[in-house]
Amino acid sequence: MLGWEYPPHISGGLGTACQGISIGLAKKNHQITFVVPHLFGSEDAPHMQMVGVISDSLEKDTVRPLQQQKSKRRTKSKKIIRKIKIKSLLSPYTNPTQYQMSYEAMLNCTGLKSTEVEEYLVDDTSKREDFIKRVSFQSYGKDIFLEVERYAQQVRAHFAEESFDIIHAHDWMTVPAAVLLSKVKNIPVVLHIHSLEQDRSGAHVNQQIAAIESYGMSYAQRVIAVSHYTKQIIQRNFTLAAEKIHVVHNGVYQGKVREHYKKPKDNKQRVLFLGRITMQKGPDYFVEAAAKILPHFPKVEFIIAGAGDMLPRLKARVQSLGIQKNFYFPGFLKGKQVERAYALADVYVMPSVSEPFGIAALEAIKFDTPVIVSKQSGVSEVLSHALKVDFWDTKKLADSIINALRYPELREDMLSMAREEVKRVHWDAAANSIDDVYKSL
């Protein structure tokens, strides 16, 4: 498996999905080598500890194959999932401009105080200085596409002598590595599409990234889409036979919540947006809906948790609307901060413009928080009873939030039905579907 990220160092849903899929497949006796770009230490991504994460090296005692699950006898055995870090400047969700900023800042050893650059670099000053001394950045790609190609060459060199049956690649950064290794080893590629360039960039599609996606899907023997919504976009924009594309929905960890959080005794109602603050996630529609809600609920608090390029513009819009006293921007959350945010919210809102899936909605339900999701999302396919709105319809979004805040019985109905649906949406089910894709090869 070739991915961008893997817990605990993650910045979005892809890392969570990769872990869930890997664990589900390991239970079915698949031996998995998971490969990630990795630079030095904790700098590979802003990271958060999601619910249910386990260690990087998973022993068979931790993830037991199906036939061993009923046995209490613990025996030593080889790792069923191993994680390999390949040296690279690539980071999750990095676009060409952000990569260039990181590369130039590190190459020149200047501008390292920029918040936007620091998001992709080592946090600890002493580690950063030591790293700069030891690494020649001339060896890295001067732009993101050269770095993707350099990474592919490293993957080929690292695994040229190893034996595999299938290469399972995740999203566009892994395509050149998957294709190169596939040609060297003469083994098939499964390309897993969690997000497309047009999802992330809207009207400002980078044509080079779109071309890599197109080539990857054309070359791969099978393509997995995380939703029917994503499959339709693929069919609409790429020349691909429908039978080549298999839909496998993401899941959620089914373990019990480790900690219960008490709501503060301030009687304040809270509406949560948690995700990357980018065009794709629709935070601006969340703000516009909030302005329509406040005349009805003047004391409600709106929480926008996350980091991204739209954050300054979002704060300016809140200021211009004069509603800043009702908004809280806690920044990028991780670990128990994420859990607490879900648990304390009265309703979680996901107004995404284009959301291939949307694992966050399932996580919110796990913490007993009802959700309102965009119709333009894959998760809406598995949550039949959730409140759904078009992302652009801020009036309907506001009305839906108002109703959820006004009627506790509605929130409880939404939650009870969602809980039943989420029971069927788990990583073992995803792994079963992926196993069928493997068998078809």
339, 367 contact by CB (below 8 A): yes
In terms of domains, do 20 and 40 share one? yes
pTM of the model: 0.81
Lay out the sheet containing 270-274: strands in order across.
327-331, 301-305, 270-274, 347-350, 371-374, 387-389
Cis peptide before 408 (omega within 30 of 0): no
How much is the average pLDDT of 242-270?
Answer: 82
| Residue 274 located in a structural domain | yes
In terms of domains, do 202 and 158 share one? yes
- The DSSP letter of residue 124 is S
Which candidate, 271, 290, 382, 399, places its Cα nearest to that of 390? 399
In terms of domains, do 151 and 206 share one? yes
In terms of domains, do 379 and 283 share one? yes
Q: How many CB atoms lie within 10 A of CB 228?
A: 13
What are the two backbone dihedrals, phi and then psi, of residue 241, each rounded to the nearest 5 degrees? -65, 135
| Residue 133 located in a structural domain | no
Residue range of the domain that includes 229: 13-95+139-252+427-440
What DSSP assignment string belongs to 65-86?
Answer: -GGGTT---------SEEEEEE
Domain count, the chain: 2
Poorest-confidence range of 37-46, 85-94, 175-184?
37-46
**Percent of the chain residues past pLDDT 70, beyond the cut:** 80
Residue with the two structure tokens 């794709």: 280
- Residue 189 tokens, joined: 């590629």
pLDDT at 107 over 80: no
| Residue 105 located in a structural domain | no
The CATH number of residue 156's host domain is 3.40.50.2000
Measured torsion, CA atoms of residues 162, 61, 39, 21, in degrees rounded to the nearest 10: 80
Q: Which amino acid is at 24?
A: G
pLDDT at 48 over 90: no
pLDDT of residue 96: 84
Which candidate, 97, 21, 96, places its Cα nearest to that of 63? 21
What distance in Å separates the CA atoms of residue 166 and residue 191, rounded to the nearest whole number? Answer: 11
Instruction: Indicate the length of the chain as a whole number.
Output: 441
What distance in Å separates the CA atoms of residue 333 and residue 340, rounded to the nearest whole number? Answer: 10
More confident residue, 49 or 99: 99
In terms of domains, do 346 and 232 share one? no
Q: Is 165 exposed, middle or buried (0-12, 13-18, 19+ CB in 10 A)?
A: exposed
332, 92 contact by CB (below 8 A): no
In terms of domains, do 314 and 382 share one? yes
pLDDT at 65 over 60: no
In terms of domains, do 170 and 233 share one? yes
| Residue 213 located in a structural domain | yes
What distance in Å separates the CA atoms of residue 201 and residue 198, rounded to the nearest whole number? Answer: 5
- Report how far apart, in Å, the C-alpha atoms of 288 and of each of 283, 294, 376 are: 9, 11, 18
- Residue 417 tokens, joined: 């039905």
Average pLDDT along the chain: 82
| Residue 349 located in a structural domain | yes
In terms of domains, do 80 and 55 share one? yes
Poorest-confidence range of 119-128, 260-269, 286-295, 371-380?
119-128
- The DSSP letter of residue 257 is P
| Residue 149 located in a structural domain | yes
In terms of domains, do 29 and 158 share one? yes
Q: Max alpha carbon distance in the chain (Å)?
A: 66
In terms of domains, do 311 and 166 share one? no
